Amino acid sequence: MGDRRGMRQLERVFDLAIIGGGVNGCGIARDAVGRGNTVFLCEMNDLASGTSSWSTKLVHGGLRYLEYYEFRLVREALIEREILWGVAPHIIRPLRFVLPHHAGLRPAWLLRLGLFLYDHIGGRHLLPATRSVDLTKDEVGRPLIPNRYSRAFEYSDCFVDDARLVVLNARDAADKGADIRTRTRATEIRQSDGVWTVGLVDTITGARSTIRARALVNAGGPWVEDVLGRGAGVNAKAKVRLVQGSHIVVKKLYDHDRAYMFQNADGRIIFVIPYQDDFTLIGTTDRDYDGDPAKVKATAEEIQYLCTAASEYLAKPVKAEDVVWTYSGVRPLYDDGASEAKAATRDYVFELDTPGGAPLLSIYGGKITTYRRLAEEALERLAPYLRSAKAREGWTGKWPLPGGDMDVSAVDALIADLQRGYPFLSVEHARRLARAYGTRAIKLLGDAKSAADLGQSFGATLTEREVRYLMNNEWAVTAEDIVWRRSKLGLRLSADQIAALDDWIASHAVPQSPLLEAGGRS
């Protein structure tokens, strides 16, 4: 059976093959298949298991990038904020940020000027504008050190569930016919007669197969140069700069719903963000990284840096022993020669090579916020080589991601609908499902009439029915996939509970569903 399948794949030639299942790769897959192309994507681990799940969880313009004159990038990102909010209102929501004025650092006039540009260069329509804040009177001043900070500015950006953004792009691509393969490593890429041949290995079973494609996208992220070394025959001119960004999570530091942007004496900034209802997220660091991107971890030095930076502002100091979770990722930035990691461009850069005539597009850099525009531009670069590159151009900014087919203000109404339709759900459970799955929460819950109908409970409102849904519809293979990427329930589950979930998955695993393998409709 495996040999026959391998022969069928060898005979078929995809319009586009993509290596890398992060936000850029999945965004390109979605856009390309929606324009009528046949698409294949492989990811050596889980979707979003690299850089894309270790971000600061923001869809934002990048206020600090204005200091580095990145006006094009900031404007594009500001425009994308409301577009992405509109297509995924369940996993993206507005968030107000408080930026205190710190005497001796950036002057107030400069902050005001930057925020004026921020409000006006990006086509803001729905998000509220910047306002001045008297920290001695407003509730957002209460968590801060008394009498040290008296004025601030409050501005808008958005929060995003980054890993779910990736998975939903992959889900929509598969719904439209793309072949999405996780735990599938591209071991060799070569071309002949104007067609790329990609050798693949299933990292779970060891099974080998081959696919062919007319065009190839290298969306390997931190591994972009490694992918080129697998036989592509390309001498890349661009170089990647690996920059480590680490975050810490602590118990909730304050009761209001605003986030903070704090300036540091070293010129950097950190964010302090309400997270998962009962926690606070603090990050990020910026330091060059030299090593295996798969082994990156927050260092004791970084943890202390974030604690110290936050404690410069907060009345109750943040200590290392307060940290309940850390995560760290490697950003694959384009190496523009900047002397410091914090100054390296966050813009994306493409390198298009055509050894032997078939195109290979490699991607360097990029941000969560601009992934959709990156995908559009990637397909513009590949347009001469694709049969269906122009049809439905711009459609990804109008068509909702799975579960996002509702108004941006309708999430609370959906939560209420879930509680009416499934009265056995707690408020917390209904809210979590609505924010994760949107309207597809109803598909997940199905005809359940009681909590017992949801099957075994694994803790923290995670049930057997949800786990099965994630395995059958969202490529989840391990407990880690579920509790740290499809959700953040790892913050609430014990090590024993997570281990029990892994045991359950192992005993209930079935061969990969044709739905996930071949991209059927869910």
CATH number, domain with residue 479: 1.10.8.870
Say if CB 150 and CB 136 are below 8 A apart.
yes
SS3 94: strand
What does the angle CA 63 – CA 343 – CA 64 come to, to the nearest 5 degrees? Answer: 10
The total of structural domains in the chain comes to 3
Is residue 76 situated within a structural domain?
A: no
Phi-psi region for residue 84, left (φ > 0), alpha (ψ -120 to 50) or beta?
A: alpha
Residues 196 and 269 in one domain: no
Say if CB 313 and CB 262 are below 8 A apart.
yes
**What is the Cα–Cα distance from 74 to 66, expressed in whole angstroms?**
7
Determine the distance from the C-alpha atom of residue 154 to the mean position of all C-alpha atoms in its chain, rounded to a whole number. 25
Give the pLDDT score at 390: 62
Beta bridge partners of 208: 201
Residues 245 and 234 in one domain: no
SS3 1: coil
Residues 458 and 321 in one domain: no
Give the pLDDT score at 22: 98
Q: Which two tokens stand for residue 107?
A: 């002057």
* Backbone φ, ψ for residue 92 (5° rounding): -125, 135
From 337, 366, 381, the end of a domain falls on 337
Say if CB 199 and CB 216 are below 8 A apart.
no
- H or E element: which one contains 33? helix 23-34
* Backbone φ, ψ for residue 176 (5° rounding): -95, 5
Give the pLDDT score at 510: 67
Give the pLDDT score at 361: 97
Give the pLDDT score at 410: 96
Neighbours of 104 (CB within 10 A): 7
Give the pLDDT score at 517: 41
- Residues contacting residue 323 through CB under 8 Å, at least 6 positions apart: 248, 249, 250, 303, 307
Give the pLDDT score at 392: 67
SS3 518: helix
Residues 223 and 356 in one domain: yes
- H or E element: which one contains 437? helix 427-437
Residues 425 and 354 in one domain: no
SS3 345: coil
- Residues contacting residue 295 through CB under 8 Å, at least 6 positions apart: none
**What is the Cα–Cα distance from 439 to 414, expressed in whole angstroms?**
7
Q: Which domain holds residue 485?
A: 411-514
**What is the Cα–Cα distance from 361 to 465, expressed in whole angstroms?**
40
- Residues contacting residue 177 through CB under 8 Å, at least 6 positions apart: 33, 38, 39, 519
Query: Digits of tens for pLDDT over the chain (522 positions)?
Result: 444 454 444 478 999 999 999 999 999 999 999 999 999 999 999 999 999 999 999 999 999 889 888 899 999 999 999 999 999 999 999 999 999 999 989 999 999 999 999 999 988 899 999 999 999 999 999 999 999 999 999 999 999 999 999 999 999 999 999 999 999 999 999 998 899 999 999 999 999 999 999 999 999 999 999 999 888 778 778 889 999 999 999 999 999 999 999 999 999 999 999 999 999 999 999 999 999 999 999 999 999 999 999 999 999 999 999 999 999 999 999 888 877 777 777 789 999 999 888 999 999 999 999 999 999 999 999 999 997 766 567 999 999 999 999 999 999 999 999 999 999 999 999 999 999 999 999 999 999 999 999 999 999 999 999 999 999 999 999 999 999 999 999 999 999 999 999 999 999 986 554 344 444 333
Measuring CA to CA, which residue among 42, 328, 396 is closest to residue 211? 42
Residues 171 and 320 in one domain: no
**What is the Cα–Cα distance from 93 to 90, expressed in whole angstroms?**
7
Residues 446 and 506 in one domain: yes
Residues 245 and 146 in one domain: yes
Give the pLDDT score at 1: 43
Round the CA-based radius of gyration of the chain to a whole number and report it.
Answer: 23
